[in-house]
């Protein structure tokens, strides 16, 4: 499970790299619009996960946990859940 989680986190880092690169140096159409939409959807989804995690984990989240949720989304949630057990 840990190996798959690490691979998934690496894939998410690559996705963030592509989205941030597109924000700095836009790709050609239609890729620019598609990647910008993916960035907005990703930020919205990860923010909702952060809100859900704050409600779920009553003992609070460390700053590292919050950053993990914003960077890796559901993969960060799985890591935090495994750590809290």
pLDDT (mean) for 74-84:
88
pLDDT at 58: 79
* Cβ(10)–Cβ(71) below 8 Å: no
CB atoms within 10 A of CB 14: 10
Q: Would you give the distance in Å from CA 41 to the centre of its chain? A: 11
What does the pLDDT read at residue 59?
Answer: 80
Please state which of the ranges 22-31, 35-44, 50-59 shows the lowest mean pLDDT: 50-59
Are 22 and 53 spatial neighbours (Cβ–Cβ below 8 Å)? no
Q: Phi/psi at 62 (nearest 5 deg)?
A: -75, 165
pLDDT of residue 31: 93
**Given a cut of 80, is residue 84 above it in pLDDT?**
no
Query: Mind listing the pLDDT tens digit for each residue in 14-32?
Result: 999 999 999 999 999 899 9
CA atoms of 64 and 41, how far apart (whole Å): 22
């Amino acid at each position: 499970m840990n190996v798959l989680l690490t691979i998934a986190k690496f894939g998410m880092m690559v996705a963030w790299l592509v989205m941030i690169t597109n924000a700095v140096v836009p790709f050609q159409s239609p890729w620019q619009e598609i990647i910008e939409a993916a960035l907005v959807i990703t930020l919205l989804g990860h923010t909702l996960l952060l809100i859900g995690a704050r409600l779920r984990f009553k003992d609070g989240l460390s700053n590292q946990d919050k950053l993990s949720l914003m960077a890796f989304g559901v993969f960060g949630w799985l890591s935090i859940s495994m750590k809290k057990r």
